[in-house]
Amino acid sequence: MSHHQDRIIFFDTTLRDGEQSPGATLNVEEKLTIARQLAKLGVDVIEAGFPYASPGDFEAVHKIAATVGTETGPIICGLARATFQDIEACAKAVKAAAKPRIHTFIATSDIHLEYKLRKNRNEVIAIAEEMVSYAKTFVDDVEFSPEDAGRSEPKFLYEVLEKAIAAGAKTINIPDTVGYLTPSEFGDLIRGIKENVRNIDSAIISVHGHNDLGLAVANFLEAVKNGARQLECTINGIGERAGNAALEELVMALHVRRQYFNPFFGRPADSEEPLTNIDTKQIYKTSRLVSNLTGMLVQPNKAIVGANAFAHESGIHQDGVLKHKLTYEIMDAQLIGLTDNQIVLGKHSGRHAFQTRLKELGYELLDTELNNAFLKFKTFADKKKEITDWDLESIVNDEIQQPPEMFRLELVQVSCGDRARPTATVTLRTPAGEELTDAAIGTGPVDAVYRAINRVVNVPNELIEFSVQSVTAGIDALGEVTIRLRHNGQVYSGRAANTDIIVASAHAYVNALNRLYVALNAPKTTPAATAS
């Protein structure tokens, strides 16, 4: 039995299943940034992508393996269908990692066998066995998933798993691909596997689940009680359709309720030894990073990382919390890396104070990034007296999460009001270094700005989402704009913050257009396969 069995292995699939969320496309650099943060968060395994699916996916897995997959870093895993080409591509992509893993899968439910694979059960068993053995010729660490296990016939499932383990799979992952099971059913499924698969003790049981009925996290916790020791999840729960089980919810459930879960790990209930390797203080930062780079906003009432998760609105609650925190709080916001949001800096604060506070917040900036961020901070501090940690974070993210600058917004000016036709003038510097100015009328100031920008950039696109959120309370708050636009079925996101929301809107739009522009000018990639 593995030494891992006495705690939970966190397998993060934000960059694979999470990236399959409609519209969450990330470029290679953005994936690397997320992978580095996942390593800081302390995940045990990063599923970095699906190498055979596209050259872009291959490159991302390859780069992550080479840079984040160090001896002391996480295992770097790639996904592969149970085919020779998929496994070969995956092996090549993860090779540079100190601890590479190939995750191969084939469906086992009758409905998938009949309509998708058009194969019978014996054929599927033979393929699973052969492909696990083939993957073993490249790496020692092979994971096998019977896709749609949740709707597969248990006896057949046991047989496939036994063969996969015999062929060398060290982890067998049980996916509830369509998010169909209830917690007790999922728990029973795992118990059944533990009791009926003869060689199960030679493998780690993993679970993977989708949130179609909002049950993914609950299902996983039931699986843990029945012996699952690896959890496949994503940051903010992003992923196909309704998403995957959310990492932050699982981590905090296992932390806050460790006295409840300890006995299932053979520990005394009051043991304080962590059940996971996750540094909970990195949770909030990781959540913001993933949300910013994917453009997938976190709903305010989302557990753990939503803006309201630690806010107390009603007088009764506020009164209680002031008297004693534990009256209405089961965990401290600082545990997930939220600061007390105290006022830290103002316009007289110097560069050193600025840099020191950023360091305390966990940001290490390059010199150029620091210079730019400091200039921005000074501009904001002139307009906004008090700069909080939230503001700082937003300013810094503007600096370090930018797509390559193709078009640069030099000027934006609007005129609007109830008696005026909203009119905007913009000046942009093009990738060729030319300065172009144009103007447009719109239904409102933002519409006018976007129309004017489009006249300059001239790449057809459809704006599908526009949202403004204030970073802190107060009339002088920074406004953070997130937008998503679509071109040829692909979605590109942009984000920017400013005390002027029209300026933030313009920058967010140019950011998204820059991402689109880079993609249009990149070598063509054709997705060859998809998986959920």
Complex with Zn ion: residue 244 or 286, whichever CB lies closer: 244
Complex with ligand KIV: residue 232 or 391, whichever CB lies closer: 232
CA distance 249 to 226: 19
Binding site for Zn ion (CB under 5 A): 17, 532
Tokens of 320: 């209680």
Which of 21, 145, 152, 397 touches ligand KIV by CB under 6 A? 145
Q: Is the dihedral of CA 193, 197, 203, 208 positive or negative?
A: negative
Complex with ligand KIV: residue 131 or 370, whichever CB lies closer: 131
Place of tokens 């307009």: 383
Which of 14, 177, 236, 461 touches ligand KIV by CB under 6 A? 177
Complex with ligand KIV: residue 99 or 208, whichever CB lies closer: 208
CB of 103 to Zn ion, least distance (A): 11
The entry of Zn ion, ligand KIV, none near residue 162 (CB within 5 to 8 angstroms by kind) is: none
CB of 396 to ligand KIV, least distance (A): 33
Which of 175, 403, 445, 494 touches ligand KIV by CB under 6 A? 175
Query: Quick one: which of 47, 28, 30, 33 has its CA closest to 523?
Result: 28
Number of H helices, E strands in the chain: 17, 16
CB of 237 to Zn ion, least distance (A): 12
Complex with Zn ion: residue 17 or 391, whichever CB lies closer: 17
The entry of Zn ion, ligand KIV, none near residue 147 (CB within 5 to 8 angstroms by kind) is: ligand KIV
Cβ-contact 194, 160 below 8 angstroms: no
Strand ranges for 212-330 from DSSP E: 230-233
CA distance 314 to 228: 40
CB of 102 to Zn ion, least distance (A): 17
Count of beta carbons in the 10 Å neighbourhood of residue 462: 9
CB of 82 to ligand KIV, least distance (A): 11
Q: How would you class 470 by CB atoms within 10 Å of its CB: exposed for 0-12, middle for 13-18, buried for 19 or more?
A: middle
Complex with Zn ion: residue 128 or 424, whichever CB lies closer: 128
CB of 244 to Zn ion, least distance (A): 6
Cβ-contact 219, 209 below 8 angstroms: yes
Which of 86, 141, 147, 393 touches ligand KIV by CB under 6 A? 147
The entry of Zn ion, ligand KIV, none near residue 105 (CB within 5 to 8 angstroms by kind) is: ligand KIV
Distances (CA, A) of 318 to 289, 323, 335, 461: 30, 9, 20, 46
As beta bridge partners, residue 100 has 76
Q: Hey, which residues between 13 and 52 contact ligand KIV (CB under 6 A)?
A: 17
By CB under 6 A, residue 83 contacts ligand KIV: no
For residue 59, give the H/E element and its range: helix 55-67
Tokens of 254: 């296992």
The entry of ligand KIV, Zn ion, none near residue 442 (CB within 5 to 8 angstroms by kind) is: none
Q: C-alpha angle with apex 201: 198 to 205, nearest 5 degrees?
A: 105
Cβ-contact 452, 426 below 8 angstroms: yes
CB of 30 to ligand KIV, least distance (A): 21
Complex with Zn ion: residue 17 or 44, whichever CB lies closer: 17
The CA R_g of the chain, rounded to the nearest whole Å, is 25
Longest dimension (CA), the chain: 78
Complex with ligand KIV: residue 169 or 483, whichever CB lies closer: 169
CB of 7 to ligand KIV, least distance (A): 22
Per-residue interface string for the shown chain with ligand KIV, residues 238-277, x marking contact by CB under 6 A: ----------------------------------------
Which of 11, 105, 134, 186 touches ligand KIV by CB under 6 A? 105
Complex with ligand KIV: residue 215 or 485, whichever CB lies closer: 215
The entry of ligand KIV, Zn ion, none near residue 292 (CB within 5 to 8 angstroms by kind) is: none
By CB under 6 A, residue 112 contacts ligand KIV: no
Cβ-contact 133, 109 below 8 angstroms: no
Complex with ligand KIV: residue 145 or 511, whichever CB lies closer: 145
CB of 208 to ligand KIV, least distance (A): 5
CB of 157 to Zn ion, least distance (A): 17
Q: Which residues contact 46 (CB under 8 A, 6 or more apart)?
A: 12, 15, 35, 38, 39, 64, 68, 69, 74, 75, 76, 77
Three-class HEC string of 23-34: CCCCCHHHHHHH
Cβ-contact 487, 516 below 8 angstroms: yes
Tokens of 1: 């039995």
By CB under 6 A, residue 230 contacts ligand KIV: no
Complex with ligand KIV: residue 105 or 158, whichever CB lies closer: 105
Query: Quick one: which of 243, 263, 275, 245 has its CA closest to 173?
Result: 245
Residues near ligand KIV (CB under 6 A), total:
10
For the packed helices 367-383 and 389-400, what is the interaxial angle rounded to 10 degrees? 140
Cβ-contact 16, 48 below 8 angstroms: yes
CB of 471 to ligand KIV, least distance (A): 35
Q: Hey, which residues between 207 and 226 contact ligand KIV (CB under 6 A)?
A: 208, 210
Q: What is the contact surface with ligand KIV in residues (CB under 6 A)? A: 17, 105, 145, 147, 175, 177, 208, 210, 531-532
